[in-house]
Structure 1
Amino acid sequence: MADEANRATFLEIQGRMIEITGKLKQVQSQVRNKEGEKKRAFLTLEELKQLSDDTNAYKSIGRAFVLEPKSVLMAEQEQKLKDSEAAIVSLQSSKEYLEKQKAEVENNLKELLQQDPGIARQIMSMTVA
C-alpha cells in the first residue's frame, strides 16, 4: 500500500518536473528572441542616427516598403527597444520563479528517494521504451 502511494507520488513529482522543465525552456527561448529583437532595434537606431534629420528612409511592412521620415522610424525603433527590455525583465523574473520551482521539486524527489530506498531500486530497474 505504501509502495503504491510512493510510486504515485513519484509519478506526480516526475510529471511536475517535466512540466516545469518545458516551461523553463520556453521562457529561455523567449528571452533569446527578445534579446535578438532588442539588438536589431539598437543596431537600426545606430544606423538611423548617422543619417541627417531631413532624410526619409524606407520601412519594411511585409513584402512592401514604405517611405517614412527618419523621426518616425527612430521613434518606432526606440519603442521596440523599450518593449524588448521590459519583456526581458518580465521573462527573467518568470525564469527565476520556474528555477525555484524546479529546485523545490528536485528536493521533493530527493526526500522521497531517501524516505523509501525501495522506490529508487524500482526506478533504476524500469526500462525506457
Structure 2
Amino acid sequence: MADEANRTAFLELQSRMIETTGKLKQVQNQMRNKEGEKKRAFLTLEELRQLSEDTNTYKSIGKFVLEPKSLLVNEQEQKLKDSEAAIASLQISKEYLEKQLAEIENNLRELLQQDPGIARQIMSMSVM
C-alpha cells in the first residue's frame, strides 16, 4: 500500500514537473519576444532622435501615413516602457517557476531516496 502511495506521489510530481517546465518555456519565449520588441523600439527611437524636427516622418499601418515626429517619438518611448514593464513582470514569473521547479525536483529526489524501489517500478512500467 505504501508502494502505491509512493507511486502515485511520483506520478503527481512528474506531472507537475512537466507542467511547470512547459510554463517556464512559455515565459522564456515571451521574454525573448518582448526583448525583441524593446530592441526595435529603442533602435527606432534612436533613429528618430537624430532627425530634425521639421523632417517628414511616416508611420506604417498597412500603408504609410504622415505623422509628426513628436508623435512617433512618443509612441516608441511608450513601446519601450511597456516592453520593459512586461519583461520585469515576466522575470518575476520566471523566477517563481524556477523556484517551483527546484522544489519539485527536491521532492522527487527525496521520494526516490525514501523508496529506491519506486524508480525500478516506474522504469518497468514505462518499458511496457
Q: What TM-score comes out, normalization by structure 2 length?
A: 0.95
Unaligned 5+ runs, structure 1: none
List 4+ stretches of structure 1 deviating above 6 A. none
Q: Could you tell me the TM-score, scaled by structure 1's length?
A: 0.95
Give the total of aligned pairs.
128
2:51 corresponds in structure 1 to 51
Matched letter for residue 116 of structure 1: D
Any residues of structure 2 matched to 1:93-112 within 5 Å, and which?
A: 93-112=92-111
CA distance in 2, matches of 1:81, 1:104: 35
**RMSD, matched Cα:** 1.2
Report what 2:21 is aligned to.
21
Once the two structures are superposed, what CA deviation does each residue of 1:42-88 show, in whole Å capped at 9, x if it has no partner? 00011111111122211111x22111010000000000000000110
Query: Given that residues 112 and 118 in structure 2 are in contact (C-alpha distance below 8 angstroms), is that contact kept between their aligned partners in structure 1?
Result: yes
Q: 1:40 to 1:8 in 2, by over 3 A?
A: same
Q: Which residue of 1 aligns with 2:41?
A: 41
Map of 2:84 onto structure 1: 85
Identity of aligned residues (%): 83
Q: Which runs of 5+ in 2 are unaligned?
A: none
Partner-residue secondary structure (3-state), 1:127: helix
In 2, Cα distance between equivalents of 1:98 and 1:85? 20
